Amino acid sequence: MIDTTIDVINKLGLHARASGKLIEVTSKFRSSIQIGKGDKLVDAKNIMSLLMLGAGKGTTLRLVIDGADEDKALEEIQTLFAAKFYEAE
């Protein structure tokens, strides 16, 4: 199991388009992927749950991944966040 944090660095935060891109990544994996603030974790494969987080720029999110492909899932999620969800700034 991986339990780490990730920072939201894109200008608009985890809005609808960014959440959709995150789901494109998370839904490829069999591992359980949860994201949230502190103990309030939500399913990172559910768009409504992601939008309800209200994670704006500068938010530090907790990421919990558990499963056979957890390492690859973490790598792809970190890449997506680092690339600012491939949005123009």
Active site residue: 2, 12, 13, 15, which one? 15
15 catalytic? Reply is yes
Q: What separation, in Å, do the N-terminal and C-terminal C-alpha atoms of the chain show?
A: 34
Q: Which of 30, 35, 32, 31 is nearest to 80 (CA)?
A: 35
* Catalytic sites, residue numbers: 15
